[in-house]
Amino acid sequence: MRMSFARWSTLVLALASGLITTRLYAGGTPTVYDNQNLHPMGSRAAGMGGAYTSLACDEVALHYNPASLSCAEHSHLELVANAYMVQHLSIPKALGEGQDLTATTYHSIPSAVGAVYLLSEGDEETRVGRQAFGFLISIPASLALKGDPTSPNTKNFLATSVRDDVLAGDAGYAIKLLPTLALGLSLGGMVRTTSSATSVLVTREIPGATEFVSLGNDTESLALGLRGKLGARWTPSPSVALGLSLVSPSIDVYGSYKQSVNVALAGFDPGTGAPVLEATPVRLLGKSAAGFPMKVAIGASYTRSRWTVAADVSIALPRAVKIASDLVPARIQGVPDPTADPITLERTFQPNVALGAEVFVTRGVAVAMGAFTDFSSVPASTLEEDRVHMYGLSAAMSLLGAQTRGTFGLAFSYGAADSVVQSGQFSLDGLASTGTTISTISRWNLVGMIGSSYSFLPDDVAAEAMERRRGKSTGSPPTPPPPPSLARPPGP
């Protein structure tokens, strides 16, 4: 039985409002707000699974704990890059029986670049009054997904593409107030850039003709938010360090949102059999917000001469993210103004944990290992979205010189969850049905990391360190460690 024109119009409106695109992703488009630890930050820190709140005596202190700037032994510079990032998403039966949705992307990005500059050495024995300044530019989250056609043998075409990146910049200051206590703060901003592309064509063959619906979607958003961080690092003994970091929720400064949907349909009048052609272009402009939540992180570490172990717990507090608001139509002559509801993502209270260890195999080689969680902040009661909890492992090897540290690492995370998908076929008749079934959505990320840091040692200290590393010093065998900023944190 043919679909009536009124039913066609209802379907067009549903397409234009994005309801179909949400179902095509089975649980909504993934965002950087769902799983926020898509790749561990830093070089040494990433190898230890991100368990770095109490250890961050280098540039990524501004990501983990600004107070740790004060324990950098010397001024230094670090550059970290993700040599490759492979992301995969799979949803069997996402579009109906035998019609799976898979997306795999490969891209590489610079992860972080920053520097630490010592303003004051402080007291020679206690280091009280030691002050440091640092800056960090980083990409803490990057998501890129593409979709495959449902099947090479079907006319009911599908193509999807998602890009979601976060760029962060921070400048911070730290001071050692007591022999065992350092405080720090940083100010900075985060820019979220998004991009979306969707192309859908669903058909139904009838004698002598074909009915179809075509949907095109083009979404852009750009949002800037400011934030602050407070940190504390307490070292009650030379081996034990405790860290605390508070990240404020972002203050929304600027945000824009665009949406362009071109919906077209071709059907046949059930009474006359004459073709019915319709087009519903949609042009919307609006605002967007960064909407990053408040975070709290605590960490502890235990360091010996040859090894270090660390553990972190971080908590993201609830936050509503205004993806699109104050939507207004961009007028098109001869086309009625569209209406659209604001798009808001509700994100809930979510803790995560990280464990890490580092072992010095030789004076110049260190191996790090870590495990971490990347739990989804999607509320468990939200049926329209999928809550995929990710679990990850990381490993890295560092080569240490008198003034340098080069790190090569790998991180892998995986997660799976039940997903409600539409039953039946991806067709006009299938879209009109309300039947659902259960599928399994799975995601994994594989990230390769390369990091390099250089410590600006005074000439005499650098020369002495080099001589010792070459074994030319007298007395006991050469065992001096590299600068703490390049290897392990110093004592209090």
**Could you tell me which residue, 431 or 61, shows the higher pLDDT?**
61
Place of tokens 């830093």: 42
Separation of alpha carbons 203 and 155, rounded Å: 7
Question: What's residue 411's pLDDT?
Answer: 94
**Could you tell me which residue, 29 or 402, shows the higher pLDDT?**
402
Averaged pLDDT, 390-417: 92
Averaged pLDDT, 150-173: 82
Residue 479 has pLDDT above 50, yes or no: no
Instruction: For residue 430, give the 3-state DSSP assignment.
Output: helix
Separation of alpha carbons 70 and 311, rounded Å: 20
Q: Tokens at residue 100, please?
A: 């799976």
Separation of alpha carbons 469 and 403, rounded Å: 11
DSSP 8-state code for residue 34? T
Separation of alpha carbons 489 and 52, rounded Å: 11
Percent of the chain scoring above 70 in pLDDT: 83
Question: What's residue 241's pLDDT?
Answer: 96
Averaged pLDDT, 236-240: 94
Instruction: For residue 107, give the 3-state DSSP assignment.
Output: strand
Closest CA to 388 of 350, 334, 441: 441
Cα 78 to the center of its chain, rounded Å: 21
- Report the DSSP beta bridge partners of residue 176: 182
| CATH 3.90.1010.10 correct for 5-486 | no
Strands 307-316 and 251-268 come out as unpaired
Averaged pLDDT, 37-61: 87
343 contacts 323 by C-beta, under 8 angstroms: yes
Q: Could you tell me if residue 336 is left (phi over 0), alpha (psi between -120 and 50 degrees) or otherwise beta?
A: beta
- Please give the full DSSP string across 46-77, using - where no structure is assigned: HHTTT--TTT--STTHHHH-GGGGGG-SS-EE
Report for 353-357, 379-383, 388-392: range of highest mean pLDDT: 353-357
Question: What's residue 480's pLDDT?
Answer: 46
- Range scoring the smallest mean pLDDT among 5-14, 24-33, 77-86: 5-14
**Could you tell me which residue, 128 or 30, shows the higher pLDDT?**
128
Residue 124 has pLDDT above 90, yes or no: no
Closest CA to 344 of 404, 390, 384: 384
Q: Tokens at residue 285, please?
A: 């402009």
**Could you tell me which residue, 429 or 107, shows the higher pLDDT?**
107
Averaged pLDDT, 12-22: 51
Residue 488 has pLDDT above 60, yes or no: no
Separation of alpha carbons 366 and 239, rounded Å: 18
Question: What's residue 26's pLDDT?
Answer: 45
Averaged pLDDT, 285-308: 94
Question: What's residue 183's pLDDT?
Answer: 97
418 contacts 442 by C-beta, under 8 angstroms: no
Residue 56: partners with Cβ closer than 8 Å, 6 or more residues away: 42, 45, 63, 64, 65, 68, 243
**Chain segment 66-106, per-residue pLDDT in tens:** 999 988 888 888 888 888 888 888 888 777 776 777 888 88
**Chain segment 346-380, per-residue pLDDT in tens:** 889 999 999 999 999 998 999 999 999 999 888 87
- Range scoring the smallest mean pLDDT among 7-11, 22-26, 264-268, 446-450: 22-26
Question: What's residue 467's pLDDT?
Answer: 59
Question: What's residue 209's pLDDT?
Answer: 75
Residue 19 has pLDDT above 50, yes or no: no
**Chain segment 250-271, per-residue pLDDT in tens:** 999 999 999 888 888 887 777 7
Question: What's residue 149's pLDDT?
Answer: 67
Mean pLDDT score across all residues of the chain: 82
- Range scoring the smallest mean pLDDT among 7-21, 33-47, 256-270, 320-334: 7-21
**Chain segment 434-472, per-residue pLDDT in tens:** 677 788 888 999 999 998 888 887 655 555 555 555 554
- Neighbour count for residue 210 (Cβ, 10 Å): 12
Residue 194 to residues 31, 259, 282, 367, Cα–Cα distance (Å): 9, 12, 19, 36
Separation of alpha carbons 142 and 36, rounded Å: 9
- Range scoring the smallest mean pLDDT among 153-157, 257-261, 342-346, 399-403: 153-157
Q: Tokens at residue 29, please?
A: 């488009």
- Report the DSSP beta bridge partners of residue 231: 184, 245
pLDDT confidence bin for 414, thresholds 50/70/90: very high
pLDDT confidence bin for 492, thresholds 50/70/90: very low
Percent of the chain scoring above 90 in pLDDT: 37
Q: Tokens at residue 463, please?
A: 């020369």
Residue 234 has pLDDT above 70, yes or no: yes
Q: Tokens at residue 454, please?
A: 């250089």
- Range scoring the smallest mean pLDDT among 141-150, 195-204, 386-395: 141-150
Using only C-alpha atoms, the chain has a radius of gyration, in whole angstroms, of 27
